[in-house]
Amino acid sequence: MAERYDFTHAERKEKIIRICISIGLWVLSVAVVIALAWLIVFLSIEKTTMVDASMDPTLMQDDRIVIDKMTYRIRDPKRNEIIVFLQGDSEHSFYNIKRIIGLPGEKVRIAEGIVYINGEVLEEYANVENMLLPGLANYEITLGEDEYFVLGDARNNSEDSRYATVGNVKRSEIIGKAWIRTNKFGFVNSLNKKQ
């Protein structure tokens, strides 16, 4: 006598296997998406707070800033962009926020409150006051191939590249571009822009 084959049991077993595979693939897909999203966020954005008044009126003390860490992995920083950089030795380092004025290889000088780049007057991007103290830039400063000259927008209330405590900012010290102010929403590089 021939043995009977139970087709309903085999079909049910095959259906359960297909469902398990579908669920497993779905769980794996969700896990991969979450991991990728976490990596993208971890590698491309960060938050910080403006700790002083050196960027008034563009950024005020206690403004919360989102840092775009991805842009400068693709291209170099540009003049007038507001950057976040690491200042100080590794044990006592902190984030500082300033506007890029001088680019690598350029010569920067400040005379009678006006910034000169390679002997030409810098056309200011933001509404800023004339500087009373040129600091180290009283004499022409030649930037290295990996150095940037930065100033705070509160030109008479900013510790920046004019002073030895900050000096020229090396490319490796730049964390990223100040991107969004979150407490009073705005894109940072469009704030306080000259008309």
Q: Residue 103 contacts by C-beta under 8 Å, 6 or more apart in sequence?
A: 77, 78, 79, 143, 148
Domain ranges of the chain: 7-46, 50-190
Active-site pick, 54, 69, 161, 177: 54
Q: Which fold has domain 50-190?
A: Umud Fragment, subunit A (2.10.109)
Active site annotation includes 13: no
54 a catalytic residue: yes
Q: pTM of the predicted model, to two decimals?
A: 0.80
What pLDDT digit, counting tens, does each position of 48-107 carry?
A: 999 999 999 999 999 999 999 999 999 999 999 999 999 876 555 689 999 999 999 999
Which among 69, 98, 161, 177 is annotated as catalytic? Answer: 98
Residues 160-184: tens digit of each pLDDT:
999 999 999 999 999 999 999 999 9
